[in-house]
Amino acid sequence: MKISSMKYLFGQGVKNVWTNRIMTFASFCVILVSLLLVGSMMLFTANVNRFISGIESKNEVVVYLNDGVTDETVSQMETDIKKLDNVAEVVFYSKEQAFEDYKKSMENAEEIFESIGDESPLPDAFKIRVKDISKMTSTIAQINKMQNIYKVSAPNDFADLLIGIKSTVGMISTAVIAALGIVCLVIISNATRASVFARRKEINIMKYVGATNTFIRIPFFVEGMVTGMLAGVAAAGLTWFGYEKFIEALSKQMTLWKAFGIDEFIPFDSVVVKVVLGYVGAGALLGAIGTVISTRKHLKV
Amino acid sequence: MVEFKNVSVTYSNGVDALNNVSLKINDGEFAFIVGPSGAGKSTLIKLILKEVDMTSGEVIVNGFNLHKIKRGKVPKLRRTIGVVFQDFRLIPTMTVYENVAFVLRVIDAPKKYIRSRVPYVISLVGLKDKVKCYPSELSGGEQQRVALARALVNDPALIIADEPTGNIDPELSYQIVQLLKDINNCGTTVLMVTHAQELVEHFGGRTIVLNNGSIVFDKVLGGANED
Protein backbone atom coordinates (compact mmCIF):
# COMPACT_ATOMS: atom_id res chain seq x y z
CA MET A 1 0.00 0.00 0.00
CA LYS A 2 1.22 3.47 -0.85
CA ILE A 3 2.24 5.97 1.80
CA SER A 4 -0.32 8.46 0.48
CA SER A 5 -3.04 5.82 0.94
CA MET A 6 -1.88 5.10 4.47
CA LYS A 7 -1.95 8.80 5.22
CA TYR A 8 -5.43 9.07 3.80
CA LEU A 9 -6.68 6.09 5.85
CA PHE A 10 -5.09 7.36 9.06
CA GLY A 11 -6.63 10.75 8.39
CA GLN A 12 -10.01 9.10 7.89
CA GLY A 13 -9.63 7.26 11.19
CA VAL A 14 -8.77 10.40 13.12
CA LYS A 15 -11.61 12.27 11.41
CA ASN A 16 -14.03 9.50 12.35
CA VAL A 17 -13.21 9.99 16.03
CA TRP A 18 -14.95 13.36 15.75
CA THR A 19 -17.61 12.36 13.23
CA ASN A 20 -18.78 9.52 15.48
CA ARG A 21 -18.21 11.47 18.66
CA ILE A 22 -21.14 9.99 20.56
CA MET A 23 -19.97 6.42 19.98
CA THR A 24 -16.41 7.50 20.54
CA PHE A 25 -17.41 9.03 23.86
CA ALA A 26 -19.12 5.80 24.92
CA SER A 27 -16.02 3.73 24.11
CA PHE A 28 -13.86 6.38 25.74
CA CYS A 29 -15.82 6.13 28.99
CA VAL A 30 -15.73 2.34 29.03
CA ILE A 31 -11.99 2.23 28.45
CA LEU A 32 -11.42 5.01 30.97
CA VAL A 33 -13.34 3.25 33.75
CA SER A 34 -11.71 -0.10 33.03
CA LEU A 35 -8.25 1.42 32.96
CA LEU A 36 -8.89 3.25 36.22
CA LEU A 37 -10.05 0.07 37.93
CA VAL A 38 -7.16 -1.99 36.62
CA GLY A 39 -4.68 0.79 37.32
CA SER A 40 -5.76 1.31 40.93
CA MET A 41 -5.72 -2.44 41.43
CA MET A 42 -2.17 -2.58 40.13
CA LEU A 43 -1.01 0.33 42.27
CA PHE A 44 -2.58 -1.31 45.31
CA THR A 45 -0.84 -4.60 44.50
CA ALA A 46 2.45 -2.81 43.96
CA ASN A 47 2.16 -1.16 47.35
CA VAL A 48 1.29 -4.42 49.10
CA ASN A 49 4.25 -6.13 47.42
CA ARG A 50 6.48 -3.32 48.50
CA PHE A 51 5.41 -3.65 52.14
CA ILE A 52 5.92 -7.36 52.00
CA SER A 53 9.35 -7.13 50.46
CA GLY A 54 10.20 -4.48 53.04
CA ILE A 55 9.29 -6.89 55.77
CA GLU A 56 10.99 -9.73 53.93
CA SER A 57 14.26 -7.88 53.85
CA LYS A 58 14.19 -7.74 57.61
CA ASN A 59 13.96 -11.51 57.91
CA GLU A 60 16.65 -13.22 59.93
CA VAL A 61 17.61 -16.83 60.29
CA VAL A 62 19.91 -17.50 63.22
CA VAL A 63 22.15 -20.57 63.04
CA TYR A 64 23.62 -21.58 66.39
CA LEU A 65 26.83 -23.58 66.31
CA ASN A 66 28.02 -26.38 68.55
CA ASP A 67 30.29 -25.40 71.38
CA GLY A 68 34.01 -25.47 70.73
CA VAL A 69 34.20 -25.14 66.97
CA THR A 70 37.52 -23.81 65.74
CA ASP A 71 37.99 -20.55 63.87
CA GLU A 72 38.89 -22.43 60.70
CA THR A 73 35.67 -24.42 60.87
CA VAL A 74 33.71 -21.23 61.38
CA SER A 75 35.21 -19.51 58.33
CA GLN A 76 34.76 -22.71 56.31
CA MET A 77 31.09 -22.84 57.32
CA GLU A 78 30.64 -19.19 56.49
CA THR A 79 31.85 -19.73 52.92
CA ASP A 80 29.69 -22.87 52.64
CA ILE A 81 26.59 -21.00 53.71
CA LYS A 82 27.37 -18.10 51.42
CA LYS A 83 27.47 -20.55 48.52
CA LEU A 84 23.79 -21.43 49.02
CA ASP A 85 21.55 -19.92 46.33
CA ASN A 86 19.02 -18.25 48.53
CA VAL A 87 21.44 -16.64 51.00
CA ALA A 88 21.79 -12.90 50.66
CA GLU A 89 24.02 -12.15 53.61
CA VAL A 90 25.86 -14.01 56.33
CA VAL A 91 27.18 -12.33 59.45
CA PHE A 92 29.15 -14.15 62.13
CA TYR A 93 27.89 -13.38 65.57
CA SER A 94 30.47 -14.55 68.09
CA LYS A 95 29.54 -15.81 71.49
CA GLU A 96 31.47 -12.98 73.12
CA GLN A 97 29.53 -10.43 71.13
CA ALA A 98 26.32 -12.19 71.98
CA PHE A 99 27.17 -12.18 75.66
CA GLU A 100 28.04 -8.45 75.57
CA ASP A 101 24.76 -7.63 73.83
CA TYR A 102 22.88 -9.81 76.25
CA LYS A 103 24.46 -8.07 79.25
CA LYS A 104 23.61 -4.69 77.79
CA SER A 105 20.02 -5.69 77.29
CA MET A 106 19.71 -6.54 80.98
CA GLU A 107 21.25 -3.53 82.65
CA ASN A 108 20.15 -4.20 86.23
CA ALA A 109 21.30 -7.78 86.43
CA GLU A 110 25.07 -7.38 86.87
CA GLU A 111 25.02 -9.72 89.86
CA ILE A 112 23.72 -12.59 87.92
CA PHE A 113 26.33 -12.14 85.22
CA GLU A 114 29.09 -11.91 87.79
CA SER A 115 28.21 -15.35 89.03
CA ILE A 116 28.44 -16.68 85.50
CA GLY A 117 31.88 -15.20 85.05
CA ASP A 118 33.52 -13.78 81.91
CA GLU A 119 33.21 -16.93 79.86
CA SER A 120 30.19 -16.60 77.56
CA PRO A 121 27.63 -19.33 78.07
CA LEU A 122 26.04 -18.53 74.73
CA PRO A 123 26.84 -20.32 71.49
CA ASP A 124 28.51 -18.84 68.41
CA ALA A 125 26.05 -18.07 65.65
CA PHE A 126 25.54 -16.90 62.09
CA LYS A 127 22.89 -14.37 61.29
CA ILE A 128 21.61 -15.05 57.78
CA ARG A 129 19.33 -13.03 55.53
CA VAL A 130 17.62 -14.97 52.74
CA LYS A 131 16.79 -13.57 49.33
CA ASP A 132 13.41 -15.19 48.87
CA ILE A 133 11.41 -15.81 51.97
CA SER A 134 9.25 -18.42 50.24
CA LYS A 135 12.30 -20.68 49.79
CA MET A 136 13.38 -20.29 53.40
CA THR A 137 12.35 -23.78 54.46
CA SER A 138 14.56 -25.52 51.94
CA THR A 139 17.47 -23.23 52.76
CA ILE A 140 17.14 -24.14 56.42
CA ALA A 141 17.08 -27.80 55.52
CA GLN A 142 20.31 -27.37 53.57
CA ILE A 143 21.97 -25.64 56.51
CA ASN A 144 20.77 -28.32 58.91
CA LYS A 145 22.63 -30.92 56.88
CA MET A 146 25.93 -29.25 57.68
CA GLN A 147 28.22 -30.36 60.48
CA ASN A 148 28.53 -28.58 63.82
CA ILE A 149 25.05 -27.09 63.77
CA TYR A 150 23.43 -26.85 67.15
CA LYS A 151 20.11 -25.31 66.15
CA VAL A 152 18.53 -23.16 63.45
CA SER A 153 15.94 -20.65 64.51
CA ALA A 154 13.79 -19.04 61.84
CA PRO A 155 10.53 -17.05 61.67
CA ASN A 156 8.70 -19.82 59.83
CA ASP A 157 5.13 -18.93 60.71
CA PHE A 158 5.73 -15.34 59.84
CA ALA A 159 7.20 -16.33 56.50
CA ASP A 160 4.18 -18.50 55.75
CA LEU A 161 1.85 -15.64 56.57
CA LEU A 162 3.68 -13.26 54.27
CA ILE A 163 3.76 -15.79 51.46
CA GLY A 164 0.04 -16.35 51.95
CA ILE A 165 -0.77 -12.64 51.75
CA LYS A 166 1.44 -12.17 48.73
CA SER A 167 -0.06 -15.01 46.72
CA THR A 168 -3.63 -14.07 47.64
CA VAL A 169 -3.13 -10.47 46.61
CA GLY A 170 -1.43 -11.64 43.42
CA MET A 171 -4.26 -14.02 42.57
CA ILE A 172 -7.02 -11.53 43.25
CA SER A 173 -5.39 -8.76 41.26
CA THR A 174 -4.69 -11.08 38.31
CA ALA A 175 -8.30 -12.24 38.33
CA VAL A 176 -9.66 -8.70 38.55
CA ILE A 177 -7.37 -7.47 35.77
CA ALA A 178 -8.28 -10.38 33.50
CA ALA A 179 -12.01 -10.01 34.16
CA LEU A 180 -11.93 -6.26 33.55
CA GLY A 181 -9.93 -6.75 30.36
CA ILE A 182 -12.54 -9.14 28.99
CA VAL A 183 -15.48 -6.97 30.06
CA CYS A 184 -13.79 -4.00 28.47
CA LEU A 185 -13.23 -5.81 25.17
CA VAL A 186 -16.82 -7.02 25.03
CA ILE A 187 -18.25 -3.56 25.73
CA ILE A 188 -15.91 -1.81 23.32
CA SER A 189 -16.50 -4.27 20.53
CA ASN A 190 -20.22 -3.73 21.06
CA ALA A 191 -19.85 0.02 21.05
CA THR A 192 -17.82 -0.06 17.86
CA ARG A 193 -20.17 -2.61 16.38
CA ALA A 194 -22.81 0.09 16.52
CA SER A 195 -20.57 2.53 14.69
CA VAL A 196 -19.58 -0.14 12.19
CA PHE A 197 -23.26 -0.94 11.71
CA ALA A 198 -23.99 2.72 11.08
CA ARG A 199 -21.41 2.61 8.33
CA ARG A 200 -22.24 -0.82 6.96
CA LYS A 201 -23.41 0.70 3.66
CA GLU A 202 -20.11 2.43 3.24
CA ILE A 203 -18.27 -0.80 4.01
CA ASN A 204 -20.54 -2.65 1.61
CA ILE A 205 -19.76 -0.25 -1.23
CA MET A 206 -16.07 -0.45 -0.46
CA LYS A 207 -16.29 -4.21 -0.81
CA TYR A 208 -18.05 -3.89 -4.17
CA VAL A 209 -15.43 -1.63 -5.64
CA GLY A 210 -12.70 -4.02 -4.62
CA ALA A 211 -11.34 -2.71 -1.34
CA THR A 212 -9.29 -5.20 0.62
CA ASN A 213 -10.27 -5.95 4.21
CA THR A 214 -7.16 -4.22 5.46
CA PHE A 215 -8.08 -1.07 3.60
CA ILE A 216 -11.54 -1.04 5.16
CA ARG A 217 -10.26 -1.85 8.60
CA ILE A 218 -7.46 0.67 8.97
CA PRO A 219 -9.69 3.72 9.64
CA PHE A 220 -11.69 1.79 12.24
CA PHE A 221 -8.49 0.52 13.75
CA VAL A 222 -7.04 4.02 13.94
CA GLU A 223 -10.28 5.34 15.36
CA GLY A 224 -10.29 2.71 18.12
CA MET A 225 -6.65 3.28 18.85
CA VAL A 226 -6.97 7.05 19.09
CA THR A 227 -10.02 6.72 21.35
CA GLY A 228 -8.15 4.26 23.56
CA MET A 229 -5.11 6.51 23.76
CA LEU A 230 -7.22 9.50 24.72
CA ALA A 231 -8.85 7.41 27.43
CA GLY A 232 -5.39 6.31 28.56
CA VAL A 233 -4.20 9.90 28.89
CA ALA A 234 -7.33 10.85 30.84
CA ALA A 235 -6.98 7.80 33.08
CA ALA A 236 -3.33 8.62 33.78
CA GLY A 237 -4.25 12.17 34.76
CA LEU A 238 -7.07 11.04 37.02
CA THR A 239 -4.94 8.35 38.63
CA TRP A 240 -2.13 10.78 39.26
CA PHE A 241 -4.45 13.24 40.99
CA GLY A 242 -6.38 10.55 42.88
CA TYR A 243 -3.32 8.63 44.02
CA GLU A 244 -1.54 11.72 45.31
CA LYS A 245 -4.63 12.76 47.28
CA PHE A 246 -5.13 9.27 48.65
CA ILE A 247 -1.52 8.87 49.78
CA GLU A 248 -1.63 12.33 51.29
CA ALA A 249 -4.65 11.34 53.37
CA LEU A 250 -3.11 8.02 54.42
CA SER A 251 0.20 9.63 55.32
CA LYS A 252 -1.49 11.65 58.04
CA GLN A 253 -1.76 8.37 59.97
CA MET A 254 1.86 7.40 59.42
CA THR A 255 2.41 6.23 63.02
CA LEU A 256 -0.40 3.74 62.58
CA TRP A 257 1.10 2.41 59.36
CA LYS A 258 4.54 2.19 60.92
CA ALA A 259 3.07 -0.08 63.56
CA PHE A 260 2.22 -2.47 60.72
CA GLY A 261 5.75 -2.22 59.42
CA ILE A 262 4.82 0.12 56.57
CA ASP A 263 7.38 2.88 56.30
CA GLU A 264 6.43 4.53 53.06
CA PHE A 265 3.99 4.33 50.17
CA ILE A 266 5.20 4.21 46.59
CA PRO A 267 5.50 7.84 45.49
CA PHE A 268 3.69 8.47 42.18
CA ASP A 269 6.71 10.22 40.70
CA SER A 270 8.65 6.97 40.71
CA VAL A 271 6.04 5.13 38.63
CA VAL A 272 4.64 7.96 36.51
CA VAL A 273 6.33 6.86 33.28
CA LYS A 274 5.19 3.27 33.72
CA VAL A 275 1.64 4.34 34.56
CA VAL A 276 1.27 6.74 31.63
CA LEU A 277 2.82 4.36 29.10
CA GLY A 278 0.83 1.44 30.52
CA TYR A 279 -2.45 3.32 30.35
CA VAL A 280 -1.92 4.75 26.88
CA GLY A 281 -0.64 1.43 25.56
CA ALA A 282 -3.40 -0.64 27.14
CA GLY A 283 -6.02 1.87 26.00
CA ALA A 284 -4.76 1.83 22.42
CA LEU A 285 -4.62 -1.97 22.45
CA LEU A 286 -8.12 -2.36 23.88
CA GLY A 287 -9.59 0.14 21.45
CA ALA A 288 -7.87 -1.39 18.45
CA ILE A 289 -8.72 -5.01 19.32
CA GLY A 290 -12.30 -4.03 20.10
CA THR A 291 -12.77 -2.55 16.64
CA VAL A 292 -11.07 -5.44 14.91
CA ILE A 293 -13.45 -7.88 16.59
CA SER A 294 -16.51 -5.88 15.63
CA THR A 295 -15.55 -5.14 12.02
CA ARG A 296 -14.87 -8.77 11.31
CA LYS A 297 -18.50 -9.75 10.83
CA HIS A 298 -19.31 -6.92 8.44
CA LEU A 299 -16.38 -7.65 6.20
CA LYS A 300 -17.81 -10.94 4.98
CA VAL A 301 -19.57 -9.71 1.86
CA MET B 1 -16.14 -11.71 -20.77
CA VAL B 2 -18.61 -13.60 -18.65
CA GLU B 3 -19.13 -17.30 -19.10
CA PHE B 4 -21.47 -19.62 -17.20
CA LYS B 5 -21.11 -23.37 -17.75
CA ASN B 6 -23.94 -25.52 -16.37
CA VAL B 7 -24.22 -23.38 -13.26
CA SER B 8 -26.63 -24.26 -10.46
CA VAL B 9 -27.07 -22.44 -7.18
CA THR B 10 -29.03 -23.91 -4.31
CA TYR B 11 -29.30 -21.78 -1.19
CA SER B 12 -28.90 -23.31 2.24
CA ASN B 13 -32.66 -23.07 2.77
CA GLY B 14 -33.17 -25.43 -0.17
CA VAL B 15 -34.28 -22.84 -2.73
CA ASP B 16 -32.98 -23.49 -6.24
CA ALA B 17 -32.01 -20.04 -7.45
CA LEU B 18 -30.30 -21.07 -10.67
CA ASN B 19 -30.73 -24.32 -12.49
CA ASN B 20 -28.11 -25.54 -14.95
CA VAL B 21 -27.54 -22.15 -16.57
CA SER B 22 -25.08 -21.80 -19.47
CA LEU B 23 -24.42 -18.35 -20.82
CA LYS B 24 -21.71 -16.48 -22.61
CA ILE B 25 -21.41 -12.72 -22.84
CA ASN B 26 -18.56 -11.58 -25.05
CA ASP B 27 -16.36 -8.56 -24.56
CA GLY B 28 -18.04 -5.39 -25.79
CA GLU B 29 -21.56 -6.81 -25.69
CA PHE B 30 -24.63 -5.12 -24.24
CA ALA B 31 -27.21 -7.44 -22.73
CA PHE B 32 -30.50 -6.95 -20.92
CA ILE B 33 -31.39 -9.53 -18.32
CA VAL B 34 -35.11 -9.59 -17.66
CA GLY B 35 -37.51 -11.82 -15.78
CA PRO B 36 -40.02 -11.79 -12.93
CA SER B 37 -38.99 -11.49 -9.26
CA GLY B 38 -37.39 -14.64 -7.99
CA ALA B 39 -36.31 -15.73 -11.45
CA GLY B 40 -32.65 -15.75 -10.42
CA LYS B 41 -31.49 -12.38 -11.80
CA SER B 42 -30.02 -11.22 -8.50
CA THR B 43 -28.34 -14.55 -7.94
CA LEU B 44 -26.77 -14.30 -11.39
CA ILE B 45 -25.26 -10.93 -10.51
CA LYS B 46 -24.20 -12.02 -7.06
CA LEU B 47 -22.41 -14.95 -8.65
CA ILE B 48 -20.47 -12.67 -10.98
CA LEU B 49 -19.48 -10.49 -8.01
CA LYS B 50 -18.56 -13.56 -5.98
CA GLU B 51 -21.08 -12.68 -3.32
CA VAL B 52 -22.55 -16.16 -3.48
CA ASP B 53 -20.87 -19.40 -4.52
CA MET B 54 -22.22 -21.79 -7.13
CA THR B 55 -23.32 -25.21 -6.02
CA SER B 56 -22.10 -26.75 -9.27
CA GLY B 57 -20.74 -25.65 -12.62
CA GLU B 58 -18.18 -23.06 -13.60
CA VAL B 59 -18.21 -19.27 -13.81
CA ILE B 60 -15.48 -17.30 -15.53
CA VAL B 61 -15.49 -13.51 -15.23
CA ASN B 62 -12.82 -11.33 -16.88
CA GLY B 63 -10.41 -14.23 -16.81
CA PHE B 64 -11.05 -15.18 -13.18
CA ASN B 65 -12.32 -18.69 -12.59
CA LEU B 66 -14.66 -18.07 -9.66
CA HIS B 67 -14.55 -21.65 -8.52
CA LYS B 68 -10.83 -21.55 -7.94
CA ILE B 69 -10.37 -17.92 -6.90
CA LYS B 70 -8.93 -17.39 -3.43
CA ARG B 71 -10.62 -15.13 -0.88
CA GLY B 72 -7.78 -12.69 -1.02
CA LYS B 73 -8.13 -12.28 -4.79
CA VAL B 74 -11.81 -11.34 -4.71
CA PRO B 75 -11.02 -7.60 -4.43
CA LYS B 76 -8.91 -7.95 -7.59
CA LEU B 77 -11.87 -9.49 -9.43
CA ARG B 78 -14.20 -6.75 -8.24
CA ARG B 79 -11.83 -4.07 -9.48
CA THR B 80 -12.49 -5.26 -13.03
CA ILE B 81 -16.24 -4.80 -12.58
CA GLY B 82 -18.25 -1.62 -12.09
CA VAL B 83 -21.60 -1.99 -10.34
CA VAL B 84 -24.65 0.27 -10.41
CA PHE B 85 -27.47 -0.46 -7.97
CA GLN B 86 -31.15 0.37 -7.97
CA ASP B 87 -30.76 2.34 -4.72
CA PHE B 88 -27.59 4.16 -5.92
CA ARG B 89 -25.66 3.36 -2.71
CA LEU B 90 -23.75 6.60 -2.61
CA ILE B 91 -22.05 7.52 0.63
CA PRO B 92 -24.16 10.35 2.07
CA THR B 93 -21.31 11.99 3.96
CA MET B 94 -19.20 12.40 0.82
CA THR B 95 -19.55 14.88 -2.02
CA VAL B 96 -20.02 13.76 -5.60
CA TYR B 97 -16.32 14.14 -6.19
CA GLU B 98 -15.38 12.14 -3.10
CA ASN B 99 -17.88 9.41 -3.90
CA VAL B 100 -16.17 8.86 -7.22
CA ALA B 101 -12.59 9.49 -6.10
CA PHE B 102 -13.03 7.03 -3.29
CA VAL B 103 -13.00 4.09 -5.75
CA LEU B 104 -9.62 5.11 -7.06
CA ARG B 105 -8.27 5.50 -3.54
CA VAL B 106 -9.39 1.97 -2.80
CA ILE B 107 -7.34 0.65 -5.69
CA ASP B 108 -4.34 2.71 -4.67
CA ALA B 109 -4.29 4.93 -7.77
CA PRO B 110 -1.74 7.78 -7.85
CA LYS B 111 -3.02 11.12 -6.54
CA LYS B 112 -2.28 12.86 -9.80
CA TYR B 113 -4.34 10.36 -11.75
CA ILE B 114 -7.26 10.73 -9.32
CA ARG B 115 -7.20 14.50 -9.75
CA SER B 116 -7.46 14.29 -13.53
CA ARG B 117 -9.62 11.18 -13.90
CA VAL B 118 -12.43 12.00 -11.47
CA PRO B 119 -13.49 15.36 -13.00
CA TYR B 120 -13.32 13.77 -16.45
CA VAL B 121 -15.67 10.91 -15.54
CA ILE B 122 -18.05 13.26 -13.75
CA SER B 123 -18.21 15.45 -16.84
CA LEU B 124 -18.91 12.33 -18.95
CA VAL B 125 -22.15 11.76 -17.02
CA GLY B 126 -22.95 15.48 -17.27
CA LEU B 127 -22.60 16.52 -13.63
CA LYS B 128 -19.68 18.90 -13.96
CA ASP B 129 -21.39 21.67 -11.99
CA LYS B 130 -22.53 19.34 -9.16
CA VAL B 131 -19.07 18.13 -8.17
CA LYS B 132 -19.26 19.64 -4.71
CA CYS B 133 -22.85 18.62 -3.97
CA TYR B 134 -23.81 15.93 -1.50
CA PRO B 135 -26.04 13.05 -2.68
CA SER B 136 -29.00 14.42 -0.70
CA GLU B 137 -28.89 17.60 -2.81
CA LEU B 138 -29.29 15.67 -6.07
CA SER B 139 -32.31 14.20 -7.85
CA GLY B 140 -32.65 10.44 -8.27
CA GLY B 141 -31.47 10.60 -11.88
CA GLU B 142 -28.46 12.66 -10.91
CA GLN B 143 -27.59 10.33 -8.07
CA GLN B 144 -27.72 7.40 -10.44
CA ARG B 145 -25.41 9.23 -12.82
CA VAL B 146 -22.96 9.72 -9.97
CA ALA B 147 -23.21 5.98 -9.30
CA LEU B 148 -22.52 5.41 -12.97
CA ALA B 149 -19.47 7.66 -12.82
CA ARG B 150 -18.31 5.70 -9.81
CA ALA B 151 -18.71 2.43 -11.71
CA LEU B 152 -16.83 3.86 -14.68
CA VAL B 153 -13.98 5.61 -12.97
CA ASN B 154 -11.52 2.74 -12.73
CA ASP B 155 -12.17 1.78 -16.35
CA PRO B 156 -13.68 -1.66 -15.71
CA ALA B 157 -14.02 -4.30 -18.42
CA LEU B 158 -17.58 -5.03 -17.32
CA ILE B 159 -20.37 -2.90 -15.93
CA ILE B 160 -23.26 -4.51 -14.14
CA ALA B 161 -26.35 -2.40 -13.70
CA ASP B 162 -28.87 -3.94 -11.32
CA GLU B 163 -32.23 -2.28 -12.02
CA PRO B 164 -30.53 1.09 -12.54
CA THR B 165 -33.80 2.77 -13.52
CA GLY B 166 -35.91 1.27 -10.73
CA ASN B 167 -35.94 4.40 -8.59
CA ILE B 168 -35.93 6.98 -11.35
CA ASP B 169 -38.63 8.84 -13.29
CA PRO B 170 -39.38 7.06 -16.59
CA GLU B 171 -38.20 9.90 -18.83
CA LEU B 172 -34.87 10.02 -16.98
CA SER B 173 -34.55 6.25 -17.32
CA TYR B 174 -33.93 6.61 -21.03
CA GLN B 175 -31.06 8.98 -20.28
CA ILE B 176 -29.44 6.43 -17.98
CA VAL B 177 -29.75 3.58 -20.45
CA GLN B 178 -28.46 5.84 -23.21
CA LEU B 179 -25.43 6.58 -21.03
CA LEU B 180 -24.88 2.85 -20.57
CA LYS B 181 -25.16 2.39 -24.33
CA ASP B 182 -22.58 5.15 -24.88
CA ILE B 183 -20.26 3.48 -22.39
CA ASN B 184 -20.77 0.22 -24.24
CA ASN B 185 -19.90 1.88 -27.53
CA CYS B 186 -16.50 2.71 -26.03
CA GLY B 187 -15.87 -1.00 -25.62
CA THR B 188 -17.08 -1.81 -22.11
CA THR B 189 -19.27 -4.87 -21.67
CA VAL B 190 -22.59 -3.95 -20.05
CA LEU B 191 -25.04 -6.25 -18.30
CA MET B 192 -28.27 -4.57 -17.30
CA VAL B 193 -30.92 -6.22 -15.19
CA THR B 194 -34.31 -4.60 -15.58
CA HIS B 195 -38.04 -4.92 -15.11
CA ALA B 196 -38.80 -2.15 -17.57
CA GLN B 197 -40.17 -3.82 -20.67
CA GLU B 198 -40.48 -0.49 -22.52
CA LEU B 199 -36.75 0.19 -22.16
CA VAL B 200 -35.85 -3.17 -23.68
CA GLU B 201 -38.29 -2.57 -26.52
CA HIS B 202 -36.97 0.92 -27.11
CA PHE B 203 -33.29 0.14 -27.14
CA GLY B 204 -33.31 -3.47 -28.29
CA GLY B 205 -30.19 -5.60 -28.29
CA ARG B 206 -29.42 -8.92 -26.72
CA THR B 207 -32.10 -9.87 -24.26
CA ILE B 208 -31.83 -12.77 -21.85
CA VAL B 209 -35.02 -13.83 -20.09
CA LEU B 210 -34.78 -15.79 -16.88
CA ASN B 211 -37.63 -17.68 -15.32
CA ASN B 212 -37.53 -20.06 -12.36
CA GLY B 213 -33.77 -20.21 -12.43
CA SER B 214 -33.44 -21.09 -16.10
CA ILE B 215 -32.81 -19.13 -19.29
CA VAL B 216 -36.01 -19.27 -21.31
CA PHE B 217 -35.09 -16.75 -24.01
CA ASP B 218 -31.79 -15.39 -25.32
CA LYS B 219 -31.99 -13.43 -28.56
CA VAL B 220 -31.08 -10.13 -30.08
CA LEU B 221 -34.18 -7.93 -30.30
CA GLY B 222 -35.00 -4.83 -32.28
CA GLY B 223 -32.12 -5.22 -34.70
CA ALA B 224 -30.41 -2.06 -33.48
CA ASN B 225 -27.41 -3.79 -31.93
CA GLU B 226 -26.80 -6.92 -33.94
CA ASP B 227 -23.64 -8.85 -33.28
CATH number of the domain within which A92 lies: 3.30.70.3040
Of A4, A207, A210, the CB nearest to B107: A210
B10 & B110 share domain: no
In this structure, are strands B2-10 and B56-61 parallel, antiparallel, or unpaired? antiparallel
- Tell me phi and psi for residue B64, to 5 degrees: -95, 125
A96 & A148 share domain: yes
A191 & A289 share domain: yes
Q: Give the domain extent around A194.
A: 3-55+160-298
For Cα atoms B187, B191, B195, give the angle at the middle one, nearest 5 degrees.
140
Judged against a pLDDT cut of 90, whether residue A290 lies above it is answered with: no
B76 & B161 share domain: yes
B73 & B110 share domain: no
- B185: three-class secondary structure by DSSP: helix
- Yes or no, beta carbons of B89 and A201 under 8 Å apart: yes
**Listed residues A102, A129, A154: the one ending a domain:** A154
A17 & A147 share domain: no
Q: What is the pLDDT of residues A51-94, one digit of tens each?
A: 777 777 777 788 888 887 888 888 888 888 888 888 888 888 88
Chain B nearest C-alpha distance from A9 (Å): 10
Check: pTM over 0.90? Answer yes or no. Answer: no
Chain A interface disruption, residue of B62, B108, B155, most A CBs within 10 A: B108
Report the C-alpha gap between A127 and A274 in whole angstroms. 37
ipTM summary value:
0.80
B2 & B105 share domain: no
**Listed residues A154, A172, A204: the one ending a domain:** A154
A38 & A136 share domain: no
Of B51, B75, B93, the CB nearest to A212: B75
B179 domain-assigned:
yes
- State the amino acid at position A274 in one-letter form: K
A212 & A68 share domain: no
pLDDT of residue B105: 87
A198 & A288 share domain: yes
Among A197-206, A234-243, A274-283, B61-70, which stretch is predicted with the lowest mean pLDDT? A197-206
**Listed residues B155, B183, B210: the one ending a domain:** B155
A37 & A171 share domain: yes
CB contacts, 8 Å: B107 with chain A: 209-210
Helix B140-152 to helix B170-185 angle (10° resolution) is 10
Residue A279's alpha-carbon distances to A35, A76, B70, B190, in angstroms, are: 7, 52, 40, 55
A164 & A227 share domain: yes
B25 & B74 share domain: yes
Number of separate domains in chain B = 2
B10 & B70 share domain: yes
B85 domain-assigned:
no
**Listed residues B99, B123, B155: the one ending a domain:** B155
pLDDT of residue A261: 65
Q: Give the domain extent around B170.
A: 1-80+157-227
**Listed residues B130, B155, B180: the one ending a domain:** B155
Q: Are B168 and B85 in contact (CB under 8 A)?
A: no
B10 & B64 share domain: yes
Judged against a pLDDT cut of 70, whether residue A301 lies above it is answered with: no
Q: What is the pLDDT of residues B162-204, one digit of tens each?
A: 999 888 888 888 888 999 999 999 899 999 999 888 889 888 8
Of A2, A202, A210, the CB nearest to B75: A210
pLDDT of residue B107: 83
Chain B interface disruption, residue of A4, A10, A208, most B CBs within 10 A: A208
Of A181, A223, A227, residue with least CA distance to A28: A227
A142 & A83 share domain: yes
**Listed residues A108, A127, A154: the one ending a domain:** A154
B18 & B49 share domain: yes
Please give the average per-residue pLDDT across B99-111, as a whole number.
Answer: 88
